[in-house]
């Protein structure tokens, strides 16, 4: 059952086997798996419940309703990175691209060697991925639906002999409405709100929406439940109605920014001092190409194709169309020049280059701020700056191979590439992090990392915290490193795995 704030008339007190905070890729699979096993499950979700009727291909309206801070979350550091996050039933899966990739092979070996996570085996992850791929109808994007931007970019990549292809996506019968990031208008994308959550509800799980968890009740280092408060979805202010859930197990699944923020505010589960540290974000640079033929944006699948030639070096190219109002803020001009370029929007395409960050520094802190907002510090450093430059060069080269007349980049001094000579100049240059004027990030990871050493990690391989018994964390924060690709499938796989440990725990009293 999905309970909206208008259905709640007064304070609520409940008891359940499990209470889950958050309904995204980490929370919803646990809720479903345990509900199907006959456990009583209560989920507290801070965002509101929107359905496909609400998804009107209107990006800014969607951002103001379904994104934290209306999509204006920015990291503090050099360069500033725009860091959008979902705040709705289904979490960020409701507003993501639907890319469903498995973690790169060598990453799990790293987890074994450097984080002692030998209990997570390749075979087990393979089974979990297969199960999820079937459950979520994962299949490669249809080239006929993908749209001209993706096809043109891949054409360029093929001319250069680069490994490329169509991305696997959790979308069933997608017809390419170009609006994944603002809510799928046809219900094709198998985000949590149309997959795990309805199935969990059918098995008796209760989802309280517009309900912000405020604290975890802990007694003698054992989690006992959660207290929360209903909030007005537009202002985020408390409605004055509270909820208390007594539970045998508490699962924190607020994502890699809000889960550590929650724990830091309460001073919980942080004897290692690692909560909020080790933040990785997959920073991304973009290129905009002006072609000599219509690209028909934003129709098609916004993120349907990829170039993975450089994935082992930590560079994945994935792209890329956006509606006019989002496109407008990506162009490196203002005033007259901006207006002249925007007129050519129908002939433009966007592609993004995502970097697996290894040298950069990031941390989430709970500093005094107005509203309910963490402070996110992030600075792009060392080899990651070079990777961002390389990603830009490769994308520009691909665009030119595909016939681009001009390519616009996010690197100061190289914002407009009109020829291969300009491209060579960028290819031979050295840049600093401050030279990148626009970066965005969509995958926040590692801030409550898993590991075998309680001094260096926050949770065990089961997802249970080292410090507080029966308190589990299930979201991207537990990933000890980047999975090298979009992480949603890995988050769901670990959540499904950890549901088994929670079930065992409940069986054993």
Nearer to another protein, 226 or 376 (CB): 376
Shortest approach of another protein to residue 60 CB, angstroms?
5
Nearer to another protein, 6 or 134 (CB): 134
Q: Which helix (H) or strand (E) holds 501?
A: helix 488-507
63 vs 5, 86, 364, 442, CA distance in Å? 20, 9, 22, 14
Nearer to another protein, 271 or 330 (CB): 330
- Interacting residues of 358 by C-beta distance below 8 A, sequence separation 6+: 314, 382, 383, 384
Give the range of 20-28, 50-58, 112-120, 307-315 binding another protein by CB under 8 A: 50-58
Shortest approach of another protein to residue 197 CB, angstroms?
12
Give the range of 108-116, 170-178, 266-274, 468-476 binding another protein by CB under 8 A: 170-178
Examine residue 106 and tell whether it contacts another protein (CB under 8 A). Answer: no
Three-state DSSP state, 224:
strand
Shortest approach of another protein to residue 69 CB, angstroms?
4
Residues 280-339 that bind another protein (CB under 8 A): 294, 296-299, 323-329, 332-339
Examine residue 447 and tell whether it contacts another protein (CB under 8 A). Answer: no
Q: Where are the alpha helices (DSSP H) in 369-445?
A: 383-401, 420-427
Shortest approach of another protein to residue 238 CB, angstroms?
16
Rule CB under 8 A: choose which of 380, 438, 478, 499 binds another protein.
438
Examine residue 183 and tell whether it contacts another protein (CB under 8 A). Answer: no
Closest C-alpha to 445, from 404, 482, 490: 482
Shortest approach of another protein to residue 54 CB, angstroms?
11
Rule CB under 8 A: choose which of 58, 203, 238, 271 binds another protein.
58
Examine residue 22 and tell whether it contacts another protein (CB under 8 A). Answer: no
Closest C-alpha to 351, from 387, 396, 404: 396
- Interacting residues of 281 by C-beta distance below 8 A, sequence separation 6+: 75, 81, 83, 357, 360, 362, 378, 441, 443, 444, 445
Q: How far is the C-alpha of 108 from the C-alpha of 128, rounded, in Å?
A: 14
Nearer to another protein, 124 or 325 (CB): 325
Nearer to another protein, 370 or 421 (CB): 370
* First-to-last C-alpha distance (Å) of the chain: 27
Rule CB under 8 A: choose which of 128, 141, 194, 249 binds another protein.
194
Tokens of 129: 């991925």
Examine residue 222 and tell whether it contacts another protein (CB under 8 A). Answer: no
Closest C-alpha to 245, from 395, 440, 20: 20
Tokens of 399: 């665009």
What is the separation of C-alpha 311 from the centre of its chain, rounded to a whole number of angstroms? Answer: 19
Measured in degrees and rounded to the nearest 5, phi and psi for residue 439 equal: -135, 155
Q: How far is the C-alpha of 501 from the C-alpha of 44, rounded, in Å?
A: 21
Return the number of other C-beta atoms located less than 10 Å from residue 73's C-beta: 18
Examine residue 36 and tell whether it contacts another protein (CB under 8 A). Answer: no
Closest C-alpha to 14, from 211, 165, 164, 186: 211
Rule CB under 8 A: choose which of 105, 106, 204, 346 binds another protein.
346
Tokens of 343: 């007129």
Nearer to another protein, 58 or 244 (CB): 58
Rule CB under 8 A: choose which of 1, 222, 340, 367 binds another protein.
340
Q: Please give the positions annotated as active site.
A: 443
Rule CB under 8 A: choose which of 9, 343, 428, 507 binds another protein.
343
Examine residue 413 and tell whether it contacts another protein (CB under 8 A). Answer: yes
Closest C-alpha to 395, from 319, 463, 322, 292: 319
Residues 117-156 that bind another protein (CB under 8 A): 137
Nearer to another protein, 55 or 466 (CB): 55
Nearer to another protein, 6 or 53 (CB): 53
Q: Tell me, what DSSP letter sits at residue 143? A: H
Give the range of 123-131, 203-211, 370-378, 460-468 binding another protein by CB under 8 A: 370-378
Which residues are near another protein by CB under 8 A? 52, 56-60, 63-64, 69-70, 72-74, 78-80, 137, 172-173, 175, 177-179, 185-188, 190, 194-195, 198, 294, 296-299, 323-329, 332-340, 342-343, 345-346, 369-371, 373, 412-413, 434-435, 437-438
């Amino acid at each position: 059952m999905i309970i909206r704030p208008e259905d709640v008339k007064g304070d609520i007190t409940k008891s359940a086997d499990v209470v889950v905070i958050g309904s995204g890729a980490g929370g919803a699979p646990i809720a479903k798996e345990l509900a199907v096993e006959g456990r009583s499950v209560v989920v507290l979700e801070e965002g509101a419940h929107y359905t496909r009727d609400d998804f009107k291909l209107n990006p800014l309206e969607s951002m103001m309703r379904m994104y934290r801070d209306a999509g204006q979350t920015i990291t503090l550091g050099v360069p500033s990175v725009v860091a959008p996050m979902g705040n709705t039933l289904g979490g960020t899966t409701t507003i993501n691209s639907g890319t469903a990739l498995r973690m790169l092979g060598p990453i799990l070996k790293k987890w074994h060697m450097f984080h002692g996570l030998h209990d997570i085996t390749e075979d087990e992850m393979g089974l979990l991925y297969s199960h999820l791929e079937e459950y979520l109808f994962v299949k490669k994007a249809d080239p006929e639906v993908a749209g001209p931007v993706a096809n043109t970019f891949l054409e360029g990549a093929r001319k250069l002999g680069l490994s490329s292809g169509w991305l696997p996506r959790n979308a069933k019968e997608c017809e390419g409405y170009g609006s994944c990031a603002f809510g799928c208008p046809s219900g094709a994308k198998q985000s949590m709100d149309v997959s795990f959550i309805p199935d969990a509800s059918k098995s008796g799980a209760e989802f309280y929406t517009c309900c912000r968890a405020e604290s975890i009740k802990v007694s003698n280092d054992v989690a006992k439940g959660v207290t929360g408060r209903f909030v007005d979805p537009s202002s985020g202010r408390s409605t004055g109605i509270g909820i208390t859930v007594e539970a045998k197990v508490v699962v924190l699944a607020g994502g890699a920014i809000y889960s550590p923020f929650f724990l830091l505010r309460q001073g919980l589960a942080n004897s290692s001092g690692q909560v909020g540290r080790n933040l990785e974000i997959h920073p991304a640079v973009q290129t905009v190409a002006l072609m000599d033929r219509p690209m028909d944006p934003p129709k098609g699948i916004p993120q349907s194709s990829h170039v993975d030639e450089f994935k082992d070096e930590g560079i994945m190219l994935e792209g890329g169309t956006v509606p006019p109002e989002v496109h407008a803020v990506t162009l490196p001009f203002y005033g007259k020049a901006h207006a002249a370029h925007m007129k050519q929007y129908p002939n433009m395409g966007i592609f993004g280059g995502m970097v697996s960050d290894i040298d950069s520094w990031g941390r989430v802190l709970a500093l005094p701020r107005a509203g309910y907002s963490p402070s996110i510090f992030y600075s792009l450093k060392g080899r990651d700056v070079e990777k961002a430059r390389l990603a830009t060069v490769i994308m520009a080269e691909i665009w030119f191979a595909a016939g681009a007349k001009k390519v616009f980049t996010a690197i100061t001094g190289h914002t407009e590439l009109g020829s291969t000579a300009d491209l060579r100049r960028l290819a031979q240059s050295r840049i600093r992090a401050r030279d990148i004027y626009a970066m965005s990030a969509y995958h926040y990871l590692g801030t409550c990392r898993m590991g075998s050493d309680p001094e260096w990690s926050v949770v065990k391989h089961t997802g249970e915290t080292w410090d507080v018994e029966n308190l589990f964390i299930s979201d991207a924060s537990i990933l000890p490193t980047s999975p090298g690709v979009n992480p949603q499938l890995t988050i769901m796989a670990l959540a499904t795995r950890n549901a088994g440990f929670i079930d065992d725990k409940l069986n054993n009293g």
